Structure 1
Amino acid sequence: MAGVLVGALLLGGLSDRFGRKAMLMWSYLLLGVTGTCTAFSPNYATYCVLRFATGMALSGFGLSVACLVVEWIPTAYRAITVAMTGFTYTLGQILLAGVAYAVPHWRWLQLSVSAPFFFFLLYSWWLAESARWLVLSGRAEQAVKVLRRVARINGKEEEGEKITAEVLKANMHKELATMKASYSVSDLVRTPAIRRIFLCLSIARFSISFSYYGLAMDLQNFGVSIYLIQVIFGAVDFPAKALVTISLSYIGRRVTLVVSLVCAGCVIITNIFVSTELQTVRTALAVIGKGCLSASFNCVFLFTTELYPTPIRQTGLGFGSTMARVGGIVAPLVKMMDEYYPFLPPVVYGAAPVASAVAASFLPETLNMSLPDTIEEVESRFQAKRTEKDLKEKIPLQDKAQPKEA
């Protein structure tokens, strides 16, 4: 967890500077090398150092994938694509239970889940860098080559040949005109709209991870085989993520996130009042809570990429991931309180998502909106919404003030 936290702080900015694909490939290599070396650790200190490095690489991988997905996928298909990505994560959870059961020795298990990353590194050469990032980084010619290649793969070679550097620059002249030479972490809190987004998303990411790992660490106390409960906890993600995908596409990001967080918190708190003898009921409630948290994660993942503009999108994702790791680190400490007050950890794990739902309600909606390319664009959208809201509030008052006609 500490490695993922540090990786989120360091690698998010590096990806904005050096590119999504470069960071993804570097992360694949580091995951393969550190994971394999972990399997042959001679002592515990070496094991911890290697796991820390693996956590850093995992951050780089997750952040790069997130940006590549949203910067390549059209707006209309973004929610379903993020959902499909989430389903592969769920499938990995389920497969892990089977692999762990078949390979009980931890060294061989570690090697089994690390070696495939070398294969992923090989095929990642085929992936395309984000054309949006290339243009905003002053590499329009390279972006043209990438777009023509993608057009050729999609059977649109004739349309691809019409793309030129001049065409790209003309279509993105506003974004290029307002681009700064460099961006820093301070840009996440420098302007009011971005600052609100940063604070609300940080609270949401912290609470989701905090409650998620609070449930995950309690698997062995449900009276069910730890391998079976791992499969059940993974399988619940399929219906949960399917429902949240529909809601994201038709109802909106903000409402979906708020509802899923409130449901998760209420279910976790409800489990306090269920007798420990009713293990089936307690397990079912925990599984529902975990499903709601997984749905919240899918939602906040998509929401984050759509709220931040291109130059600081990776940095924003990185700090969101940092807050999630802080939640994961704090979760075991709260769990230890059950030695003194058994009811207290579930209360805290349940209250956190409900509190973050309040914060999430202050986020702007992004349903069917194009990705923002500059900080100024986000600020102008925020100002436009505030103006529209002010007008709606003033119009009724003006109507009342006008005298009625005879």
Structure 2
Amino acid sequence: MSFQELLNQVGSLGRFQILQIVFLLLLNAIVVPHIAMENFTAAIPNHRCWVPILDNDTASDNGSRILSQDDLLRISIPLDSNLRPEKCRRFAQPQWHLLHLNGTFSNVSEPDTEPCVDGWVYDRSNFLSTIVTEWDLVCESQALNSVTKFSFMIGLFIGGIICGHLSDRWLSESARWLIVTNKPQKGLKELRKVAHMNGMKNSGDLTMEIVRTSMKAELEAAKTKPSLRDLFHTSILRKRICVLSFMRLFFTVSIFGLAVHLQHLSSNIILLQFLISALAILVSVIGPFVLNHIGRRITYLVLMSLRGIFILIAVFVPQEMQTLRIIMATLAEGISSLCVGVSRLHTNELLPTTLRATAVGVIGFFGNSGSFLSPLFMLLATYYANMPWIFYGGFSIFNAFTVFLLPETKNQPLPDSTHDVGNDWKESRKGKKEDPIIKVTRF
């Protein structure tokens, strides 16, 4: 008998498992919207300098009241390289002569312009108020917008550490983990609890002797108490921890970098967010079937590569091609949720049960570090507007190919101890063939 048969005896998918899934979904439903809200609360609307002749209702000098808004804008705000009104500079004095010029004209020299010393005028057609309009986080202060996102991500980082400890109070511990960490009594208690919630009437037949017999090999390996040092005990496990940690770092930089800066890719952020949510639901339904047939590595390779390509296309196509930009941004962010799922599943299946919680904590530390570093890459936009997106897309593509440094886990033995990981993967496959009842990863 294996642990899987023990699990079948108490109900492998019953009321207990469904309640756990629902509870975790509720927690995610509380946290994730706060990340998406950054695209609304920190949106940067179109803006220009405030000028008296255009924005002061009492201004009537030089007959400006008889001029149209477009004419007043033309003599007050210079044009940028794309022949659009500058966002951060204005003419020091109204340039009346520009009213008599036809067609395009050269921009004036620097002495004829000045910064927005009197503030800005914002386009409030989409958002009446954001932190950008409230605190004027534009032009010279635009970097502070990234700082606010950095502060938000730091809060997520600290909250993840605190909530990780708090979760032990209301989440049931894994019976398998309790048994292989030499706590069979507690493991048996959890199994009986699961059986009772799942309505399994034969739960009373489950005894300590059955547990010890079915998991004899795991209990033998559990006699040695695992420690943090054991994560680097074998070369194979050491390699996996290092590769997974750096993959998670680049992964979260790319994931959060796109997630909190969607407003840079489309002026209609409400439509974009709706399309992303709809696609994410569809992808989440299809995802398990893809994993079942293709496997972890190929699925991850394809998804992350496409995601990076979509990001790069979205930022390099002209601003006028808004439809294409929205499609690319939707595809990139829509498959991100499945990328997260594949990454976490693959990670858990590569780590031994006795050290999984500790290893996931170490890898998660690198991942959380990437989450609060991701907004800081947007500061590179001051040197080149597309540079942050080159990193976000490039990290995604780089991550896609790094997965080949790790073995495939589909239908492979699930390691229980460092000894299982320490063995060569070919030996593990050989052991699987010799013992047909050994636990393998599902899907």
**TM-score, length basis structure 2:** 0.58
Per-residue Cα deviation, 1:205-229 (whole angstroms, up to 9, x for no partner): 1222111121123222244454554
Query: Do structure 1's residue 143 and structure 2's residue 191 form an aligned pair?
Result: no
Q: What pairs with 1:244-283 in structure 2 (closer than 5 Å)? A: 244-283=287-326
Query: Do structure 1's residue 358 and structure 2's residue 411 form an aligned pair?
Result: no
Contact 2:231–2:241, Cα closer than 8 Å, also in 1: yes
Where does residue 173 of structure 2 map in the other structure? 129
- Bigger drift between 291-300 and 145-154 goes to 145-154
Q: 1:304, 1:268 → 2: CA distance?
A: 25
- 261, 264, 286: which one pairs with 1:218? 261
Query: Do structure 1's residue 153 and structure 2's residue 189 form an aligned pair?
Result: no
Where does residue 230 of structure 2 map in the other structure? 187
Contact 1:87–1:238, Cα closer than 8 Å, also in 2: no
Q: 2:166, 2:378 → 1: CA distance?
A: 41
Per-residue Cα deviation, 1:287-337 (whole angstroms, up to 9, x for no partner): 211123221110011111111111110112112211212222222222111
Where does residue 209 of structure 1 map in the other structure? 252
Contact 2:313–2:325, Cα closer than 8 Å, also in 1: no
Per-residue Cα deviation, 1:106-160 (whole angstroms, up to 9, x for no partner): 9xxx9xxxxxxxxxx99997754321122233332232222123223323222x2
Specify whether residues 204 and 163 from structure 1 end up closer, same or farther in structure 2 by C-alpha distance, changes over 3 A only: same
Q: 2:357, 2:11 → 1: CA distance?
A: 16
What letter matches 1:236 in structure 2? L
In the TM superposition, residue 261 of structure 1 has moved relative to its aligned partner by 1.2
Q: 2:405, 2:23 → 1: CA distance?
A: 27
Q: 1:125, 1:323 → 2: CA distance?
A: 25
Where does residue 365 of structure 2 map in the other structure? 322
Query: Do structure 1's residue 375 and structure 2's residue 428 form an aligned pair?
Result: no
What letter matches 1:256 in structure 2? T
Q: 2:298, 2:23 → 1: CA distance?
A: 21
Count of aligned positions: 297
Specify whether residues 356 and 238 from structure 1 end up closer, same or farther in structure 2 by C-alpha distance, changes over 3 A only: same
In the TM superposition, residue 380 of structure 1 has moved relative to its aligned partner by 2.4
Contact 2:252–2:370, Cα closer than 8 Å, also in 1: yes
Per-residue Cα deviation, 1:145-184 (whole angstroms, up to 9, x for no partner): 22123223323222x2222112212222212212254333
Q: 1:288, 1:215 → 2: CA distance?
A: 12
Q: What pairs with 1:15-164 in structure 2 (closer than 5 Å)? A: 128-158=172-202, 160-164=203-207
Q: 2:401, 2:328 → 1: CA distance?
A: 23
Where does residue 32 of structure 1 map in the other structure? none
Gaps of 5+ in 1: 1-71, 111-120, 389-406
Specify whether residues 95 and 266 from structure 1 end up closer, same or farther in structure 2 by C-alpha distance, changes over 3 A only: closer
Determine helix, strand or coil for the equivalent of 1:236: helix
- 233, 239, 261: which one pairs with 1:196? 239
Higher relative contact order (CA 8 A, sep 6+): 1
Q: 2:12, 2:424 → 1: CA distance?
A: 20
Contact 2:11–2:198, Cα closer than 8 Å, also in 1: no
Specify whether residues 302 and 201 from structure 1 end up closer, same or farther in structure 2 by C-alpha distance, changes over 3 A only: same
Contact 1:268–1:289, Cα closer than 8 Å, also in 2: yes
Where does residue 343 of structure 1 map in the other structure? 386
In the TM superposition, residue 375 of structure 1 has moved relative to its aligned partner by 1.0
What letter matches 2:236 in structure 1? A
Q: 1:374, 1:195 → 2: CA distance?
A: 14
Where does residue 58 of structure 1 map in the other structure? none
Q: 2:167, 2:417 → 1: CA distance?
A: 32
Specify whether residues 362 and 374 from structure 1 end up closer, same or farther in structure 2 by C-alpha distance, changes over 3 A only: same
What letter matches 1:322 in structure 2? F
Specify whether residues 242 and 208 from structure 1 end up closer, same or farther in structure 2 by C-alpha distance, changes over 3 A only: farther
**TM-score, length basis structure 1:** 0.63
In the TM superposition, residue 370 of structure 1 has moved relative to its aligned partner by 4.8
Specify whether residues 185 and 201 from structure 1 end up closer, same or farther in structure 2 by C-alpha distance, changes over 3 A only: same
Specify whether residues 241 and 207 from structure 1 end up closer, same or farther in structure 2 by C-alpha distance, changes over 3 A only: farther
Contact 1:93–1:230, Cα closer than 8 Å, also in 2: no
Specify whether residues 254 and 315 from structure 1 end up closer, same or farther in structure 2 by C-alpha distance, changes over 3 A only: same
Gaps of 5+ in 2: 1-9, 42-128, 132-151, 153-164, 432-443
- Bigger drift between 333-342 and 276-285 goes to 276-285
Per-residue Cα deviation, 1:229-273 (whole angstroms, up to 9, x for no partner): 444433332122223221112211121111111111111122233
Determine helix, strand or coil for the equivalent of 2:405: coil
Specify whether residues 151 and 320 from structure 1 end up closer, same or farther in structure 2 by C-alpha distance, changes over 3 A only: same
State the identity %.
30
Q: 2:236, 2:19 → 1: CA distance?
A: 27
Give the root-mean-square deviation of aligned CA atoms. Answer: 3.8
Specify whether residues 297 and 95 from structure 1 end up closer, same or farther in structure 2 by C-alpha distance, changes over 3 A only: closer
Where does residue 293 of structure 1 map in the other structure? 336
What letter matches 2:182 in structure 1? G
- 176, 195, 215: which one pairs with 1:172? 215
Q: 2:19, 2:300 → 1: CA distance?
A: 17
In the TM superposition, residue 187 of structure 1 has moved relative to its aligned partner by 2.2
Structure 1 or 2, whichever has the larger Rg, is: 2
Q: Which has the larger share of helix?
A: 1
